[in-house]
Structure 1
Amino acid sequence: MREACCPQCRGAARLVRNPYYGAGLAVHADLLVCQSCGYTGYADNPEEDAAEVSRTQADGALRRFLRMLAGG
């Protein structure tokens, strides 16, 4: 596991190996898991195109909004 910075809260996050990568079920080799806010997303992948990055950021905003509605 490698240390990284969470894109949402800037807290400590870790990069973990995607268990589905290589089995034909995933295209992202690493996952980013925040230890502070619970954010889970895809780590930066150089082969990723700009559409994938913007979709991940929009998904992060949706998660924050849903957590706010749930009171968390």
Structure 2
Amino acid sequence: MDLFDSRIPRLEKRVARIEHKLDLILAHLGLTEPEPWSDEVNALVRDGKKIQAIKVYREATGAGLKEAKDAVDKLG
């Protein structure tokens, strides 16, 4: 393993923390940013394709199954 490979996990954690902080700031300001995949997920929910919507949500966000299911359930 070279030096670059050993830094990746640490950098991924730092990016995740930064993204979390930005999400908190946006929520505090009452701002929302539409996600490019959200239209597809909404359309799948409208068409009764909940499982496919969960799959698309997970692929787009990296969310776990429960988190994705909860998010899709809120839509429909």
> TM-score by structure 2 length?
0.29
Question: Which structure's residues are more often helix, by fraction?
Answer: 2
Give the number of the structure whose alpha-carbon radius of gyration is greater: 2
TM-score (norm 1): 0.30
